[in-house]
C-alpha cells in the first residue's frame, strides 16, 4: 500500500494539479493549507475521480513554532511531501514596504524551509521518503524586476540542495522543482509567452515523474534550463544595464 502524499499549500493551482497527478497513480493524499475545511470540494473530487483516500489538515507555513505539532498531528507520516507554499508580490511594493518584503521572504523561504527541515528529520529517522520543494527559475539570478521574490527562491533552492546532500546516505531524496512561467491565478495579470508558459498539470506530472525517477533538479518547462543558463552567463557589467 502506498504511503500518502502530503501537499503543503494545497490551495494553489500547481498544488491542486500535483495532488491530481499523484492521486491518478493511486496515492492517498493529505491536503494541508490554512482553513483546510475550505478544500472539501477538492477532497470529494479526488476521492470520487480516483478512488483514493484524502484527508484535510490545517497548516500555516508562517507559524514556524507550530510545524512540529503539525507533523505530529498527521495520522500517517507521508511517503512524499510536496511543498507548494509561496507568494509572488509586486517588486515595487516590496521595495517600498518592508513589511511586504518580509512577508515575501518568509512565505517563499523561511516557512517552507523550516517545515521541510522538520519533515527531513522524521523521514531520516524512518529511513525513507521524498521531499519536493517548488522553487523557481527566478532564484537562478537576481533580476531587477523581481529580486525580493527571486532572492527568497534562491535561498530555498540552496536549502534544498544542502538538504539533498545531507540526506543522500539516509535513503531520503530531495527534488528541487524550478518552474518558469505557469498559467495560474497568480500570473493571470501577466502577458506570458506561450512557448515558455506551462499549464499547472504539466508541473504536476513533472513532479510525479521526478519523484519516481529520483531526479534531483527539474525545470518546467525544460527549455527554462537553457534560458537560465544563458541568463546566468551574461557578464554582470552587461547584465546590470538590462531591464530583465
With CA atoms as reference, report the closest residue to 72 among 57, 83, 82. Answer: 57
In the set 27, 50, 149, 219, the catalytic residue is 149
Q: Which three cell numbers stand for residue 138?
A: 527566478
With CA atoms as reference, report the closest residue to 178 among 147, 148, 210, 146. Answer: 210
Per-residue DSSP letters for 170-225? TTEEEEEEEE-EE-SGGGTTS---GGGEE-HHHHHHHHHHHHHTT-SEEEESTHHH
50 assigned to active site? no
Instruction: Please tell me what DSSP assigns to residue 16.
Output: H
How far, in Å, CA of 3 to CA of 175, rounded?
18
Number of Cβ within 10 Å of residue 73's Cβ equals 12
How far, in Å, CA of 142 to CA of 160, rounded?
18
Q: Which three cell numbers stand for residue 64?
A: 514556524
Instruction: Please tell me what DSSP assigns to residue 215.
Output: -
Q: Which three cell numbers stand for residue 92?
A: 515595487
What positions carry a catalytic annotation? Answer: 149
Amino acid at each position: 500500500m502506498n504511503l500518502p502524499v502530503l501537499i503543503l499549500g494545497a490551495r494553489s493551482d500547481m498544488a491542486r494539479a500535483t495532488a491530481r497527478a499523484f492521486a491518478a497513480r493511486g496515492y492517498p493524499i493529505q491536503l494541508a493549507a490554512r482553513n483546510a475545511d475550505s478544500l472539501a470540494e477538492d477532497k470529494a473530487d479526488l476521492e470520487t475521480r480516483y478512488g483514493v483516500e484524502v484527508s484535510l489538515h490545517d497548516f500555516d507555513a508562517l507559524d514556524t513554532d507550530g510545524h512540529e505539532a503539525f507533523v505530529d498531528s498527521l495520522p500517517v507520516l507521508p511517503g512524499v511531501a510536496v511543498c507548494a507554499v509561496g507568494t509572488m508580490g509586486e517588486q515595487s511594493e516590496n521595495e517600498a514596504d518592508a513589511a511586504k518584503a518580509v512577508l515575501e521572504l518568509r512565505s517563499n523561504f523561511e516557512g517552507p524551509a523550516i517545515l521541510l527541515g522538520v519533515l527531513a528529520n522524521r523521514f531520516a529517522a524512518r529511513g525513507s521518503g521524498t521531499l519536493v520543494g517548488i522553487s523557481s527559475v527566478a532564484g537562478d539570478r537576481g533580476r531587477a524586476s523581481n529580486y525580493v521574490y527571486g532572492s527568497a527562491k534562491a535561498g530555498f533552492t540552496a536549502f534544498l540542495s544542502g538538504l539533498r546532500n545531507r540526506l543522500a546516505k539516509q535513503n531520503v531524496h530531495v527534488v528541487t522543482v524550478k518552474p518558469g512561467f505557469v498559467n495560474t491565478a497568480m500570473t493571470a495579470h501577466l502577458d506570458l509567452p506561450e512557448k515558455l508558459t506551462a499549464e499547472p498539470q504539466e508541473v504536476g506530472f513533472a513532479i510525479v515523474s521526478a519523484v519516481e525517477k529520483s531526479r534531483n533538479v527539474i525545470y518546467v518547462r525544460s527549455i527554462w534550463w537553457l534560458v537560465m543558463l544563458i541568463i546566468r552567463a551574461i557578464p554582470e557589467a552587461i547584465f546590470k544595464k538590462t531591464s530583465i
